Amino acid sequence: MSDSDIMEFDVVIVGAGPAGLAAAIRIKQLAQSTSTEVSVCVLEKGTAVGAHILSGAVIDPRALSELIPDWKERGAPLNTIAAEDKFVFLTEKSSYRLPTPPQMNNHGNYIVSVGALCRWLGEQAEALGVEIYPGFPAARLLWDQSGSEILGVATGDAGIGRDGSKTDNYQPGMEIRARQTIFAEGCRGSLTKKLFEQLSLRANCDPQTYGIGIKELWEVDSPLFQPGTVMHTIGWPLDSGTYGGSFLYHLDQNKIAVGFVIGLDYSNPYLSPFDEFQRFKSHPKIRPMFQGGRRIGYGARALSEGGYQSIPQLAFAGGVLVGDCAGLLNVPKIKGTHTAMKSGMLAAEAIVDHFSKNNSDRTVSDYPKRLASSWVWDELYLARNIRPSFRAGLFGGLMYSAVDTYVLRGRAPWTFHNHADHLQLDRREKHTPISYPKPDGEITFDKMSSVALSNTNHERNQPVHLKLRDPAIAIDVNLQNYDAPEQRYCPAGVYEIVRNSSTGEPTLLINAENCVHCKTCDIKDPTQNIDWAVPEPGGGPIYPDM
């Protein structure tokens, strides 16, 4: 790379989600109030801000109100106040309303499209002078000579052919160097993963645990539509040993966001999160809401569920972690946008302070301290035992959670530990294949027609961005021992076992063009053989207001 391919900023932010944009805005606000210049560059892999983001979402506006107190006057897209909370237990044929746990009380919260929220935050940031570059994924970390300090990131090359050679359209990536790099990649960020490995940032915390969320957006035509309604279900179609449930939010303009989240510590290799979600919609309590409606969006994204005990070291030489790549989601609250934004703001405040003191230390150690004394920490600490307690099954978990919430109030003198999700999968012999009902094409759908609605698109002539560390493991371990679970946990049909028509020999086909960037394979592969890397610039889903 020649010198001209290097750009320098004070701060580079990886990811234009709520955490990254909140950080960018806060830095500029602080710089303005002290009349200093702090240059901020945000790299975003989606072709537009919001194109890759997906969340329920009901958000707690606490962080937003701290960041931009007059967000209402500025037209933030928080249009639907959460009105009614329903918490429902489903059996195959019936449903029972349960008392709504206090963490799930959504009084004062808003049902939003996080995509729309991010677009708005992006506009606010740009108005303050933040440079946002959508369509340019950060693909590599820039290390100093010793390999212990981060100097910035490099964007990915474009125009590399499937065989790795340069095509006529080859364009090299560019180095973005910065005094501080804020990693705001979201759950299971690909650069964050490398930082964890090289800097041992997870040495003193539990493994991160995850869930996969699959979501659809519907335009409905149903008398049951009631803007502001928030419903969560647990129980059917999952067995009581699998953690998960649905969300169903009535937005404005006859839109319903419906989705299903399953903990990735599930043990049955035959489980298919996608098909569980489709089956859920066929429940007699749920189906009528979608009758006659039109599905207009589909997508999926992993989320962090490890909480307090899985938070890694957050500051290191040259950079910090914010938002869900730091694992700051509050599981019982089912929310992470407010904690993500707050972490971004605190990182911004610590970094601007650090700069103004001309502190030569490349580690902004003040950021984790500020986070630890903020409301984010209180929330996560009090919630820490709820999610792990569900390893005792749905009913054990519910009972423990009730005691923890109402009696102990989160202050139990113990902390449950988390275990890595990929180690929880049983071998195929322990289970029998699940036979899922055929999609009806009206309320339930197959994977391919669903993926089409994610608008995902990748240049075909590029190296496969889902890399197998050892290709033989896909057959020798994954197929042999687990019946190739990637065929089922991938919500986009990327992985497919195909057999040679004459010899019957199996191979794993990776349809990388279908990928919706959810990161589930990177998490759940039983031997951690799959590495998700950013594809060529411009690749990935284009979500409509998800």
Q: Which is nearer to other proteins, 73 or 168 (CB)?
A: 168
Q: Which of 279, 428, 518, 520 is catalytic?
A: 518
> Among 457, 507, 511, 527, which residue sits at the site for other proteins (rule: CB under 8 A)?
457
Active-site entry in 192, 246, 337, 363: 337
Using CB under 8 A, which residues numbered 247 to 306 contact other proteins?
A: 294-296
Verify whether residue 325 is a known catalytic residue: no
Does 463 interact with other proteins (rule: CB under 8 A)? no
Is the Cα dihedral 451, 455, 460, 464 positive or negative?
A: negative
Task: Tell me: does residue 165 bind other proteins (CB under 8 A).
Answer: no
**C-alpha separations of 346 from 131, 341, 371, 376 in Å:** 20, 9, 7, 10
Does the annotation mark 490 as catalytic? yes
Interface mask (CB under 8 A) for other proteins, residues 46-85, using x and -? Answer: -xx-xx----------------------------------
Please select the residue that binds other proteins; options are 62, 85, 105, 135, rule is CB under 8 A.
Answer: 135
Separation CA 481–CA 448 (nearest Å)? 26
Q: Which of 118, 187, 325, 490 is catalytic?
A: 490
- The site string for other proteins over 415-454 (x = CB under 8 A, - otherwise) reads -------------------------------------xxx
Output 297 or 410, the one with its CB closest to other proteins: 297
CB-CB neighbours of 498 under 10 Å: 10
How many degrees, rounded to 5, is the angle at CA 107 between CA 105 and CA 113?
Answer: 95
337 is catalytic: yes
Q: Which contiguous run of DSSP H or E holds residue 499?
A: strand 495-499
Nearest residue to 243 via CA among 86, 378, 400: 400
Catalytic-residue membership of 301: yes
Give the C-alpha separation, 269 to 484, whole Å. 8
- Confirm or reject binding of residue 473 to other proteins (CB under 8 A): no
Q: Are 132 and 23 in contact (CB under 8 A)?
A: no
Query: What amino acid is encoded at 258 in this protein?
Result: V
**Sign, Cα dihedral of 138, 140, 145, 148:** positive
Question: Is 133 near other proteins (CB under 8 A)?
Answer: yes
Which position among 113, 180, 246, 478 is part of the footprint of other proteins (CB under 8 A)?
Answer: 113
What number of other Cβ atoms are within 10 A of residue 273's Cβ? 28
> Catalytic: 205?
no
115 binds other proteins (CB under 8 A): yes
Cα distances from 135 to residues 45, 55, 518, 534, in angstroms, run: 5, 20, 17, 11
Catalytic residue list: 55, 301, 337, 490, 515, 518, 521
Binding site for other proteins (CB under 8 A): 4-5, 7, 47-48, 50-51, 113, 115-116, 119, 131, 133, 135-136, 155, 158-159, 168-169, 171, 173-174, 294-296, 452-455, 457, 537-538, 542-546
